[in-house]
Structures are given as structure tokens and as C-alpha cells.
Structure 1
Amino acid sequence: MTAPTELRVSKDRKTLTVTFEDDARFALSAEMLRVLSPSAEVKGHGPGQAVTVPGKRNVEIISVEPAGNYAVRIGFDDMHDTGIYTWTYLRELGENGDDMFAAYEQELKEKGMTRDRLERPR
């Protein structure tokens, strides 16, 4: 997999647009990138350990840093920044992200969770 030719964070910090050499371009939402993070915190350390992360509808991207020549580390405003997004994974999210996000939404529903952040009582 070749590196993207461009990575661009939108002004509102809610979308990362990834463009590849073959002119494939994908607009990936910050929420999708966060809840489908390849980090151990989300994926777990082994089979069956994945965690469903609720309440990230309004998360924003605060940083995109190179990780070698094969990936980027994306930081979010909820302080999550341990996911290393390989070029292959970014392409997979672009091509299959709608289905992956639909599965995430189904998991939320099954677990009685929501995409909205719970407000703490004052």
C-alpha cells in the first residue's frame, strides 16, 4: 500500500480527508476514526477483547502525526492518541467504513449505549 498523497483535517476538525495515488479520496469522520481506532484501548490485546466506545459523536481531531513511513497517529480532543492508523487501515475505513460504522451503531444499540456523550449531573 502506498502512502496517501494528501491528509487534510477539515476546519471544524470533524473530518480527515485522505487522498491516495489512484485518486481515491475518502472523507473519514473524526467519530468513526475514534470509535474504530486501531489502538489496544479499543481493539483489546487479543481476540474478543474489543471495547465498544460510546459518546463520541462530537469528538474532534486535534493532531495528525507521522508514524514512520507507513502510518499516522491521530490525536482527539478526548485525549485519545494511541491509535496508529496504517495507510492500509485508512484505505479500509474509506472503502468499508460505512459498513464498519453501521456494525458499531448496532453494537451500541445492543449494549444500550449511545453516540452522544452523557452529561454529568451538576
Structure 2
Amino acid sequence: MTAASWPTELRVAGDRRTLTIAFDDGRRFELPAEYLRIASPSAEVQGHSPDERKTVPGKRNVEIIGVEPVGNYAVRITFDDMHDTGIFGWPYLAELGEKQAERWANYLAELDAKGLSREPRRA
């Protein structure tokens, strides 16, 4: 993301499963709620070092229930599992869009390696 890049659109889909973000340099990304949830920049998910990062299972059906601005540099996304501690800065959202295929493939491989699933746990 260049210094001149700035979000021009931020929209949650009607089904609450996708966040669309467009930038003034022409880039546009449709980011699934599940992807955003498992990549949350929160300490709960990322830990305080790369060794502490968590693989978050069971979020296939997660939805976005709120998006709040944080200053003029980020948004706080609230998910229907009540996770809301990640602050998604504009550069991070652009990175998630640009590297979505690679990051998603890595996530699926991590789930598989750890014997975890995208499906929610049944009570």
C-alpha cells in the first residue's frame, strides 16, 4: 500500500459474510468474514510473538456484526462470536487482500496438520 492509498469504500455484504474494501489506487478486495476472523490482528489470535500465533478453527459460519472506525487509520470488526479485539489498519487490510490466496492455503494446511476443522464444534 502506497502512502497515497486510502480506502474509498468499506462495505459489509447483506449476508454479513464478506467485507469489501476499495482503495483510491484501484485495488478492491472482497474479504470473507471467516478469513478476517482467523487473521485478526488481535493478541488473542496473533499472540505477542510469531511462536504464540494461534490457528483458529471452527469459524466457517462466522459473520460480521459491526465495523467501527478507529481514528482515521483502521476499523474494529466485531464478529458474531463476539470477537472484537482486533484493530484492522488500512495497510493490514490491503495485505490481507493481496495475499489472500497464499494466506488461506497456509491456514488450511495448518488446520490439516493440527487435526482441526473449519466447522464449528457441535454442542
Normalising to structure 1: TM-score of the pair?
Answer: 0.95
Which among 58, 68, 81 is matched to residue 55 of structure 1? 58
Identity %: 61
Q: For residue 40 of structure 1, what is the aligned residue in structure 2?
A: 43
**Alignment pair present for 1:6 and 2:9:** yes
**Alignment pair present for 1:103 and 2:106:** yes
SS of residue in 1 equivalent to 2:7: coil
Runs of 4+ with >4 A deviation = none
Q: CA RMSD in A?
A: 0.8
**Alignment pair present for 1:83 and 2:86:** yes
- How many angstroms apart in 1 are the aligned matches of 2:62 and 2:103? 18
Structure 2: which 5+ residue stretches go unaligned?
none
Which among 51, 63, 67 is matched to residue 64 of structure 1? 67
Structure 1: which 5+ residue stretches go unaligned?
none
SS of residue in 2 equivalent to 1:91: helix
1:2-37 CA distance string (max 9 Å, x none): 331010000000000000001211000000000011
